[in-house]
Structure 1
């Protein structure tokens, strides 16, 4: 996984922390990092701490359980930092990193990214901790199953 020069989005789930992940990416030479956390000000404060020339860091409030928030994160990252190279989910029991470059080019990239985010959530949050809203991103809702 190439980190130097990469634009990275880190989405923090409730009970997770993206701080160590963000620090690792900025130290490894990422070109920019967007941190999203559903708790107001948490991502913004971390972004202010890590922002530096050569690696701008943007913090936003967002909940990746909501497809509209994922779409907004993608738009914000691309507007301020450029095309996303790595999308990370930081959960209470770990982290998962996915590369949008691996998505099929002929399909709806946002729909495919939502499917990958759903898979990532299911890997970093044990089933007993998942909120009912997770169904929308884990492929169990109508129209989101991948075959």
Structure 2
């Protein structure tokens, strides 16, 4: 996986830590980073710390469990940094990096990205710790 010259999105899940991952990507020569964290202000503070010429860093609040938030992250990264090359998920039990060149050309890139992010979340968060959406909880109760 090539990091030098790559635009990287890092989605930090509840209980995860994105700071070390962002620092590693920056040190490896990433062209730009977008960090999204559930906790307000955390990603923005990290972006202010790491932002530098040659590797701009954007920090936003976002929830990788929500497709609308993933779509917003993709749009924000494209607007400020360019096309995304790598998408990383940092959870309480590990990290997973997805290379977007894995996406088939004939599929809707956002739909395929959502599937890969969902898979990545499943790998870094044990099933019993995964968030249950309110609609899924209502369905399970019926």
Does the pair score TM above 0.5?
A: yes
Aligned residue in 2 for 1:49 = 49
Alpha-carbon RMSD across the aligned residues, in angstroms, is 1.2
Q: How far did residue 131 of structure 1 move?
A: 1.3
Q: Scaled by the length of structure 1, what TM-score is found?
A: 0.90
Aligned residue in 2 for 1:37 = 37
Q: How far did residue 100 of structure 1 move?
A: 1.1
CA distance in structure 1 between the partners assigned to 2:23 and 2:131 by the alignment? 28
Aligned residue in 1 for 2:22 = 22
Structure 2: segments with no counterpart, 5+ residues: 137-142
Aligned residue in 1 for 2:69 = 69
Aligned residue in 1 for 2:101 = 101
Aligned residue in 2 for 1:82 = 82
CA distance in structure 1 between the partners assigned to 2:9 and 2:75 by the alignment? 11
Structure 1: segments with no counterpart, 5+ residues: 137-147
Give the secondary structure class of the aligned counterpart of 1:132: coil
CA distance in structure 2 between the partners assigned to 1:28 and 1:130 by the alignment? 30
CA distance in structure 2 between the partners assigned to 1:128 and 1:68 by the alignment? 24
Q: How far did residue 132 of structure 1 move?
A: 1.3
Give the secondary structure class of the aligned counterpart of 2:49: helix
Q: For 1:16-54, what per-residue CA distance to the aligned partner results, in whole angstroms no more than 9, with x for missing partners?
A: 000000000001110000000011100000000000000
CA distance in structure 2 between the partners assigned to 1:54 and 1:108 by the alignment? 30
The number of residues matched between the two structures is 135
